[in-house]
Amino acid sequence: MAWYAYCIGEKQAFPELTRHRKPVPLESVFGVNGNQVFLYPASDLAVVVSEQNPAETFNQKCGVDHARVIAECFRQATVLPFRFGTVFHDDESLRKSIRSNQRQFLTNIDKLRGKTEMHLKIVVDDSGVKDAERRAAASNIGSHPYLSDLRENAMRARERQTRARAMSFQMHRLFLPLDEEVSCRLMDNGKMVLDIAHLIDRKYVERYQNKFSTTSATMREWQMQVSGPWPPYHFVHRLTRSAHVIQQTAQAAPVVAPLSDAVTAMPVLEQAPALA
């Protein structure tokens, strides 16, 4: 039987496994393709799985269901999320993967214990970059168009990077996270979007949300959104880069197209081999 994997945590965090050595259903929890979710005991760990029919395909709703199951488990325990689409062909491949990486799993769970992820999305006008582009175009009149375009693109990228770095540094000083992941992108409408993932202690979630309320009220020139608390998706891959053996023992099914904006707060990461 093939198993679809959602996340992994310590067995002791799930009382349902106290007297069981076989997979135990999580009551009223259904996952990808509406399949019943199980707790699969493996030594000191518990893998959250559901049965997987090879004929079943993955779609966008499956991605949402994947994230929902992880969020349900995160309310109860510290868990390491698997990348969306991770499938173990049978019981032996699942057990082998867990045995091979048990020490690392337990170490990573301990490092992330009691921590959660908050996500900031900041949208700003890219007017500074547009002004720089106009200045560059004016200064390069008469030069070769190709070379002029190269200079303009390089200047836009440098200015955007500088601005994003200053904004992320400002957010870091305001929210004081334990760790952070930052990405920047330019939208079709010319606005710049800064996505910031902050790792914080779960006990400080309310304080973080209060800080966001005051910050968004004072910085009205920025469009700011906050979501969370989430499982620490963005920070798991830092701890699992060396777990290449999982990729050999767990066959990851094809990943669907990027999820819509409605679920981008529940990211599907690609950096780690099998854990997200």
3-state SS string over 20-68? CCCCEEEEEEECHHHCEEEEEEECCEEEEEEEECCCCCCCHHHHHHHHH
Per the CB < 8 A criterion, the answer to whether 113 and 78 are in contact is: yes
d(CA 154, CA 158): 6
Please state, for a pLDDT cut of 70, what percent of the chain lies above it.
Answer: 78
- The pair of three-digit structure tokens given for residue 81, joined into one six-digit string: 């999320």
d(CA 202, CA 219): 26
Instruction: Give yes or no: residues 103 and 238 share one domain.
Output: yes
pLDDT band at 73 (very low <50, low <70, confident <90, very high): very high
Classify residue 271: in a domain, yes or no: no
Looking at this protein, which amino acid is placed at residue 12? Q
Instruction: Give yes or no: residues 91 and 16 share one domain.
Output: yes
User: pLDDT (tens digit, 9 = 90+) per residue, 205-257?
Assistant: 999 999 999 999 999 889 999 999 999 988 887 665 544 444 444 444 333 32
For the chain, give the mean pLDDT. Answer: 81
- The pair of three-digit structure tokens given for residue 162, joined into one six-digit string: 């500088």
> Looking at residue 241, what is its pLDDT?
52
Instruction: Give yes or no: residues 144 and 223 share one domain.
Output: yes
Instruction: Give the residue from 120, 20, 5, 22 showing the smallest Cα distance to 73.
Output: 5
Task: Kindly tell me if the per-residue pLDDT of 269 is higher than 50.
Answer: no
Burial of residue 217 (number of CB atoms within 10 Å: 0-12, 13-18, 19+): exposed
| CA distances to 164, 196, 229 from 211, in Å | 20, 15, 14
Instruction: Give yes or no: residues 136 and 108 share one domain.
Output: no
Instruction: Give yes or no: residues 195 and 244 share one domain.
Output: no
Classify residue 159: in a domain, yes or no: yes
Classify residue 105: in a domain, yes or no: yes
Classify residue 269: in a domain, yes or no: no
Instruction: Give yes or no: residues 71 and 121 share one domain.
Output: no
Instruction: Give yes or no: residues 146 and 71 share one domain.
Output: no
Task: Kindly tell me if the per-residue pLDDT of 144 is higher than 70.
Answer: no
Classify residue 170: in a domain, yes or no: yes
User: In which element (H, E) is residue 207 found?
Assistant: helix 205-218
Backbone phi, psi, residue 156, to 5°: -60, -45
Per the CB < 8 A criterion, the answer to whether 35 and 68 are in contact is: no
Please state, for a pLDDT cut of 90, what percent of the chain lies above it.
Answer: 53
> Looking at residue 162, what is its pLDDT?
85
Please enumerate in sequence order all residues whose Cβ is within 8 A of that of 193, keeping only pairs 6 or more positions apart, or say none: 121, 122, 123, 184, 185, 186, 187
Number of domains the chain contains? 2
Task: Kindly tell me if the per-residue pLDDT of 274 is higher than 50.
Answer: no
> Looking at residue 204, what is its pLDDT?
96
> Looking at residue 140, what is its pLDDT?
52
> Looking at residue 260, what is its pLDDT?
31
Residue 159: which CATH number?
3.30.70
For the chain, what is the radius of gyration of the CA atoms?
A: 22
Lowest-confidence segment of 18-27, 114-123, 147-156, 177-186 by average pLDDT: 147-156
pLDDT band at 189 (very low <50, low <70, confident <90, very high): confident
Domain of residue 241, residue span: 2-114+233-263
Most confident of 23-27, 136-140, 144-148: 23-27
Instruction: Give yes or no: residues 250 and 220 share one domain.
Output: no
Classify residue 276: in a domain, yes or no: no
Instruction: Give yes or no: residues 19 and 153 share one domain.
Output: no
Task: Kindly tell me if the per-residue pLDDT of 38 is higher than 80.
Answer: yes
User: pLDDT (tens digit, 9 = 90+) per residue, 76-133?
Assistant: 899 999 999 999 999 999 999 999 999 999 999 999 999 999 999 999 886 554 554 4
Per the CB < 8 A criterion, the answer to whether 57 and 49 are in contact is: no
pLDDT band at 263 (very low <50, low <70, confident <90, very high): very low
Task: Kindly tell me if the per-residue pLDDT of 163 is higher than 90.
Answer: no
Classify residue 275: in a domain, yes or no: no
User: In which element (H, E) is residue 180 found?
Assistant: strand 179-186
Task: Kindly tell me if the per-residue pLDDT of 54 is higher than 80.
Answer: yes
Instruction: Give yes or no: residues 151 and 238 share one domain.
Output: no
> Within 13 A of 258's CA, how many CA atoms are on the CB side?
8
Instruction: Give yes or no: residues 40 and 147 share one domain.
Output: no
Classify residue 273: in a domain, yes or no: no
Please give the residue that has the higher pLDDT: either 146 or 224.
224
User: In which element (H, E) is residue 245 found?
Assistant: helix 245-249
Instruction: Give yes or no: residues 140 and 239 share one domain.
Output: no
